[in-house]
Amino acid sequence: MSSTLRVSFTDIAFAGDAIARRDGQVLFAPYAIPGEEAVVRVVKEKRDYLMGEVVEIVAPSPHRVEPPCPLFGRCSGCQWQHIAYPYQLELKRRVVQEQLRRFGKFPDPPVAPTIGAEDPWHYRNHARFTVDAEGALCFVHRQSRELIPIPYCYIVHPRINDMLAQLQGRPRGATQLNIRYGVNTGSFLISPRLDLLKLPLPTGQPYYEEKLLGRTFRIAAASFFQVNTAQAEALVRKVIERLAPTGDEVVIDAYAGVGTFGILMATYVKHVVAIEEAAPALADAEVNAEGLGNITFIRGKTEQALWALGEPANALILDPPRSGCHRRALEALLKLSPSKAIYVSCDPATLARDLRILCEGRAAGPGGLGKNGGYRLLEVQPLDMFPHTYHIECVATLAR
């Protein structure tokens, strides 16, 4: 039987829930804000924590605002529309600090204030829908797995909303539909190919194009690309700023994807070596680098390619998937021992884990000792790539 508690929320968890403590147990509840007092219904009870849902806000936070989306709280795609945007940025900085303390054992992590988005609405250039039996384009609730029909989304680009309106109720028989849009080009991609359904928009394009900092990038349906174009440009600028190239550097771009960092870095340095495992992304990257004579592409796993490199490097950029770097990739970085390393991450917990290894100079296990020991963590810069959600992008700068 569920019970109700009156609690005061004191902090925020990485997954976006507010945190309260009661009788030695931690209680997590979505849609509350640190500093609020609320009545909460306990919906799950474990030995060391409780999960709750807010029944009544007794003392609201001054940072509480009215969410514009009528589906907020039901859709689950956004977790923080009820929080004023400036305070979202402060909470994200707080989350990064806590993850670095907890998983990285950094007692006083050097976390800068979060770089916010100029426009925190209608920023997503990519939307992924599940299609129900009636042809409705839906999002899937992250806990219940309920299909939620989406007539309009407040965080996707207006052009994607236009396409959503044209397609809604039409792709019967399909199960998934992805829409990707080039904010700076007008190019778009809808996958999979659905010619037999006679839709009002073409589908099955092999790629679309986007521009970052004035350079055009081809992006195949299977390739990763940042979902916030404006903030992706801010991210690249930050990486270039933190590397502070002089023109003589050899830079390794690990987990290169479609070549974003390496290609935009190439005009500032002597040579770029870009490593990518996925064939579609590498094919895009080679097209995207046309006209550049100082970039070399290597297809392979980063943890294998780094060990095989013969030439020394001055700097290395890591942009791994959410799971972080393979241990052997960190060992190879320590062996190569570039004077600077930039680690771009969308998961502060795995970032913290890997930064601890790099700062200690030894991976978990035998070997992996860097020629000059470990790195010094200079700064972790959160950047809000995903407003109104708990997700956080970070740029960590390390130096010998």
**pLDDT tens per residue, range 242-267:** 999 999 999 999 999 999 999 999 99
3-state helix, strand, coil in the chain (%, to 5): 25, 30, 45
CATH architecture entry for 1-64 = Beta Barrel (2.40)
Mean pLDDT value of segment 200-221: 97
Distances (CA, A) of 6 to 10, 20, 41, 59, 135: 13, 10, 9, 11, 43
When pLDDT is averaged across residues 160-164 and rounded to a whole number, the result is 98
Candidates 220, 197, 239; CA nearest to 126 is 220
| pLDDT for the residue numbered 363 | 57
Nearest to 385 by CA among 116, 78, 27: 116
pLDDT band at 24 (very low <50, low <70, confident <90, very high): confident
pLDDT in tens, 331-340: 999 999 999 9
Q: How do residues 168-201 score in pLDDT, each as one tens digit?
A: 999 998 999 999 999 999 999 999 999 888 899 9
Name the burial class of residue 101, with classes exposed (0-12), middle (13-18) and buried (19+) by CB atoms within 10 angstroms of its CB: middle
Catalytic site residue 346?
yes
pLDDT surpassing 60 at residue 369: no
Provide the pLDDT for residue 95. 97
Compute the distance between CA of residue 381 and CA of residue 116 in angstroms, rounded to an integer. 11
Is a pLDDT exceeding 90 seen at residue 373? Answer: no
From the list 75, 78, 346, 394, the catalytic residue is 346
What does the domain layout of the chain look like in residue ranges? 1-64, 90-118+228-399, 126-220
Mean pLDDT confidence for 62-82: 96
Q: What span, in angstroms and rounded, lies between the C-alpha atoms of 387 and 301?
A: 32
Would you say 67 and 387 are in contact if contact means Cβ atoms under 8 Å apart? no
Torsions phi, psi for 381 (to 5 deg): -110, 105
What would the CATH number be for the domain defined by 90-118+228-399?
Answer: 3.40.50.150
